[in-house]
Structure 1
Amino acid sequence: MDVARRRSDGVLAIWAEAQRQEQRRREAQQRAQAAAQRQRERDARAAQLAAARGQREALRAYQLDREAEVARQSGLLDEQVAELQGLLRVGRGQPAFTLQALLAPVRLPGFDAGALGIPTPMPDQAYYQVPPPSGMMQRRHHEEQVAQARARFEHDWYQAQAVEQERLRRLAEYREGYRAWAADQQRRDAERIARTEDLARRLGRGEAEAVHEYFSAVLYGSDGWPQDFPRRVELAWDGNRRQLVVSWQLPEFQVVPEHSRLRYVKADDRDVPVARPAAERKRLYREVLAQSALRVLDELFRADPQGLLESVALSGFVSGVDPATGLEAERVLLAVTAAREAFTAIALERVAPVECLQGLGGVLSARPERLEEVRADRLPQAVGSAVAGQGGEEDPDLFTMDPIEFEELIAALFRARGYRVETTARSGDEGVDVVAVDPDPVTGGKIVIQAKRYRSTVSPTAVRDLDSTVRHHGAIKGILVTTAGFGRGSYSYIENKPLSLVTGPELVELLAEQGLRGRLGPVPGRAAEEVTDSAPAPAPASVRVRIDWQSRTVAGDRVELDVCAFVCAAGRVLSDEHFVFFNNPAEPTGAVRLGSARTAADGPLRSATLTLDLTRLAGTTADQVVLAVATEEDPGPALPLGYLHGLALEVTDGASGAGLDSWTGATSGIPDSAMELGSFRRTGAGGDWRFEGAGRPVSGGLAGLATGRGVAIG
C-alpha cells in the first residue's frame, strides 16, 4: 500500500504557496487601505459633529450621514453572509487545477526601459541665437553676447552628452540585468516543466509521493476561499484502493457573523448591533461546513481528469476551544467517502449542501457549534505503508514492542476507527491503559481499554478485573486487547456483559484493516537479513504444513474448518482420489496426507496439519498441490469465513522442523465460506517445488472448491 502523509515541498506546492503569499499581500494591502479610509471618514464625522453642534441643519446632515454609514456596515454583514452561502458556487466558477495548464511555458514580460528609454534632449542651437545689433555702437557688445551664447551652448551640449552617456550606460546595465533575469526565469521555467513532466509520469504510475505532491498543490493553491478561512490539510494515498484520504481544516463557528445588522441610535450617537437569531446562525454554519466539504471533493475530482482517484475519504475538523472543557481541541465535524462515479453524477450547482452531503453517505455534526464530533470514515494517519499480519520483517513484532509503544499503537487503532482517544500509560489510571470516547450522541460514551502484551493465555482474573474497572469509571464498555488468547472461562464470563476480548490474531487483523503495522513473533524460517524480493526458495522433499485458526462464537458454538488439498496438473485435479479431505485423508501415491484437527488446551485455537512427500510425485504429471479450507456445513449451512480470525499457515521442513515460509490471512468481512490458502508449484518436469501464498476466497464451500478444481461431485 503506497502512502505519503508529510507536507510536500515539491515544485507545485512551492508554486501554490507563492501564489497564496501574493494573494495575501494584495488582500493585506486592500485591508489597510480600507481601514485608512474608514479612519478618515470617522475623523471627518467627528469634525463635522463638532462643527454642527447647535446647528440644526448641520446636525441633521450629520445624522443622515451616520445612518448611511450604519447601513453600509449592515450591508457588509450581508455581503459576508452571501460570501459564505456562495462558497460552492464560487468554487465551481474557478478553473480546474490541471497538470496540462502547468506544462505551458510562462510568458515573460518584454524588456521595458522605462525612463531610461527616453534619450536625453540635446540643446537646440537656435535657442542660443543672439539678435543682430541695431547700430554701430552695439557691434562690440553683440560680439560679446554671441561669444557668451556659444559658450553656454557648448557647456549645455557637453553636459547633455554626459547625461546621455550615463543614460546609455545605465540602460545597458538594466538591459543586461533583464537578460540575466529572463535567462534565469527561463531556466527555472524549464526545470519546472521538466519536474512537472516527471511528476505527470510518476502520477500516472500512482506513486504515493507524486499523488501527495500534486493534490497538495491542488488544495493549497485553491483560490476564492474567504480570507479568514484556515488552509491546513493532511493527505494519504491508498494505492490499493486508489483512494485519497484527506483531513481538511474547517472554519470555526465565529466565521458566521454574530450580528445580522447595525442600528443607529440618534439620542446618544451610537451603533447598536442586532443579534442574528441563534437558529439561523447554526443553520448557516452547517451549510458552510457542507459546502466546504463538497467544494474540496469537487476540486480534487476536477483536478484529476485521468481518473486516478476512484474515491476520496474526507474528514473535516475544527481546531478551537471546547466549550465543555475550555481547552484547545481538534474535533472531526464531518466525514464522507465519495466515489468518483457517484459524485460526478451530481449537479452541484443546484444541490442543497447539507442534503447533498448526507445523500453521499456523509455525516455532519448535529451541533457543530458545540464541537460535537462525528466518527471519521478514515483518517490519513491510519493509512499505513504496509499491511499488518503479512509476516513481513519490516512490521514491528508485537511481542517485543516497548509497552508504552504497544499502548500507543492500540490508541492509534481506535483513533483510526473514529474514536477520540487518550492513553493513560504515563499516569497509571487505575488499570486503564487507553480511554476511547465514541462520539455518537445516541449510542456513544466512554470505553476503557486494557492492553496486555502476553505470550500465554490471559487469566480469567484479568477479565473480571476489567469488568470492575468498567463499573468504576462509569464506562459503557470495556475491551481487553492482548497478543495472546483467552480460555473458555473468559469467554463464558463476558456473555451478556459489556465486555469484548481481542486476541493476538484478531488484533493483527484489526490493524491490517486500518493500514497499521504489526505481527506476532518472528517470520518463521526467515531472518530479517534474508528477506529479499527474489523468488521463494525451493521446498525440501518432505514438508509439513500447519494451519491455525480461531473461531468467533455463533449461537454458543464455534465454527470449524475442513482442511483439504488438491494434487493438480494444469490447474485440474489428477483424479477424484487426488482430492485430500476428511473422507479421503491421503491421495493414491501417499504424497499428501491430512492429519486430524486439534484444539489448544488453553483456548479456542484450532489447528490441522498436512504432510507432503513431494518426491512421491516425481513420476506423475502433477505440477501443483493446492491447499485450501472451508467452513464445516454440519449441523447447518456453511458459515462465512468472516466468523473466523487469525487464519494462518506455516510451512516447515519435515525432517529438521525448521521454518520455511508462512502466510497470515485476514478473513474479517469475507462472505464466502472457502478459501485457497496457497500452493506448491513445480517449475517444469522434474523441477523444484516452491510454495506461493494466495488467500483467494471461493464461494460454495467445500463443494465449490472441489468443482472448481475438477472433482466430480455425485
Structure 2
Amino acid sequence: MQRQQQRLLEAEARRRRAEAREAATYQRYAAQAQREHRQAEARRRTQELEAQVESLRGLLATGTRAPAFRADALLRTEEVAPFAPGALAQPLPMPHPDAYPPRSAWTAHQRAQAQAEARARFEQDWYAAQAAEARRQQQLAAYQREYERQTEAHRTEVRRHNAGVTEVTDGVRRGEPDAVVEFFSAALYAATAWPEGFPRQVGAAYDPAARHLVVDWELPGFGVVPEAKAVRYSAADGGFKESARPVTQRRALYREVLAQSVLLVLHQLFAADPFGALSCVTLNGFVDEPDPATGQRGHIVLATVMAERSAFDGLRLEVVDPVSCVTDGLRGQVSARPDQLTAVRAALRPRDLGDRVVTHDDGAEEPDLSAMDPIAFEGLVAELFRAMGMQAVTTQRSNDGGVDVDALDPAPIRGGKIVVQVKRYRNTVPPSAVRDLYGTVQDRGANKGVLVTTSGFGPSSYTFVRGKPLELITGPQLVDLLHRHGLRGRLGHGAPAAPAAGASTAGAPARPAPPADDHNVLGMSWSGGVALDVCALVCRGDRVLGDDWFVFYNNPRTPDGSVHALPPAPPDRAAVRVAFDALPAGADRLVLVAAVDPEVDPGADLSGFTDAHIRLLDPALAELGVLGVSDGRPGETALVLGSFRRRSSGDWDFVLGGKGYRGGLEELVGDFGIEVN
C-alpha cells in the first residue's frame, strides 16, 4: 500500500510538471505572437510614415499627371431617372363572381338565400376594389405630376447652371475680370491632385490689359511633414517608440513641399486656360497662422513667384528640383525658414489690382487724376509725400534728370533720399520706364525710387523691381493713399465706386425706389443642430460698402432698406428679404455668409452643417428655385455660402461660395474690409 501510494504521488507530480511545461510553452508562444503582432504594427506605422513622405515628395509629379480642368466638367446633364411608380403601376385585380360560390343548402328557399348572400359578398368586395383602384389611379396621377414637376425643375436648374457656366467661359474669352477670377478659382477648387488635409483657400484678381492673374493660395502648415521617422516596438515595456525625424530634414522637405505646391498651382492654372487669358500669373503662397512677432493670426506669405506663360511652358516639371525651379528658374522666392514662419515679400497682391475709388460726396469736386494738369498732378503727389511725414518738393521742368519729385524720409535706418517719377498714363507703364528709374536712383545716389502712375504695370516690371530699392504705385493704390491721408482724387468719369469699409454713403445719388412688391425672399435651411447666424453683405467686388451695409442680428437692415433680415418660416431656419433692383448702383454683389453662434454653441464648428440650400422665393413666398450650398468642414466656424453677382446685362446670377474660416465671423468680415473692435 505504501509503494502504491508512492507511485500515485509520483504520477501526480509528473502530471503537474507536464502541465507546467505546457503552460510555459503556451506563454512563450503567446508572448512571441504578441511580439510579432506589435512588431508588425510598428512596421505598418513606419510604412505609413514613409508613404506619407513619399506622397509629399511626389506631389508635383502626381499632380501634373492629373487631367487638366475644363469648363465642360462644370456642365450638368439634363438626364433624369425614368418614371418608376413601382406597385402603383399595376392595376388592382377585380373580384370575379365565380370566386363567391353559395353555401350548400337543402331547400329551395335556403339555396336562394345562399345565392343572395354570395352575391352580396361579391358586390361588397367589387365596390371596395373599385374604390381602391380609383385611389391608385389618383395616386399614380399625382405621382406622375410631381415627377414631371421635379423633372422640369431639375432641367430648368441644369439649363440655368449651364447657361451660367457658358456665360463665365464667354466672359473669360472676353477677358472680363470677374469671369476670369471665377473660372480659375473653380479650376483650383476642382483639382483632385492635392492630398487629403491640404487647405484650399484662394483669393484672386485679374488685370485684363496685361492678361495677368494675381492669386493668393493657402499652403499647408509645417505639421504636414510628420515629426516621426519610424516606429519600433520596445520589448522592455511592451510599447511603441517613435524615432524623431531630424529637424533639418523636416525643414528641407517642408520647403520642397511649398515649392511643389507653387509649381502645381501654376501648372493647374495654365493647363486650364485654352482661351489664352493668362499671359502671366503671380502666385503668393501663404499660411494662415499667428504671426510670431505679434501673435495676431493672419496670412503669412512663405512663397511668391511671377511666372510668364512662355517661360513656364518651357519647364519640364517631372524632372526639375522644385525649390531651384521656383527660386532660380522662375526668379521667385521660397522662405528660407518656413518652419519658423519667416515671411517673404510679395511684390503684388490681389488687392493691388482693385479698382475701388473712395468718394465722400457726389464727385463734382473730386479731381480726375487721369485728366489733371501734369504740373498739378506732380504737386498732388508731392503733397501726398508730405502728408506721409516726408519732405517733398517738385523739381524744375527742365534738367530734372527724370525726377519729378524729390523726397526725403527723415526716419532713421529706413529713411533717406527718395526720387519719385510720375506717369499720368492711361495704358500700362512700359518696363523701360522702370529700368530708367533704377538708373536714376543709381546716378542720384538715392536710397529708393518710387514710380507713381494713374494706370498700372506689367509682369516684367514687377519682375525687374524684385530685390531692388524700387516701389511701384498703381492708380488704384494712389487713390487709396490719397484718401488715407485726407487728400482727394479719383480715376475716370464713371459711376463712383463703393465707399471703403466704414465710409459714409451720404450724398450719393439715390436710386429710384422699386415697387413695394418688387423683392425676393432668400430662405436658408440646413441639417444638423449647430446654431448659426446668417448674414448678408452688400459689396462692390470683395469690399462691403460700409458697416451699415452689413446685415446681421445687430443691424437687421441696410440704410435704404433694400436688404432686410426676416423671421424665418418653416422649413427655413433663416431668411433675408432682398430688393435687387433697389441695391445701390455701386454694388455688384450680395454675399451671404453663415457663422457659428459662439454664445449658443461654444466650441462648435461647421462639421454638422450639411444638406444646406437657399430657397429663392417671390413676394408671395412661392418657391422659384433652390440653390445648393457647400457643406461645412471640421475646424471652420464661418463660411461664405455664395454671392449674387450683377452681370453687365443687369441680371443677377448666383455663384456658389465655399470659402471657410477658422476665426469665425470676425475673420470672415475682415476679409470684406470690416474692422471688428
Q: Give TM-score, length-normalised by structure 2.
A: 0.49
Which structure would you say has the larger RCO, counting Cα contacts within 8 Å and 6 or more residues apart?
Answer: 1
Q: Which has the larger radius of gyration?
A: 1
Q: Give TM-score, length-normalised by structure 1.
A: 0.46
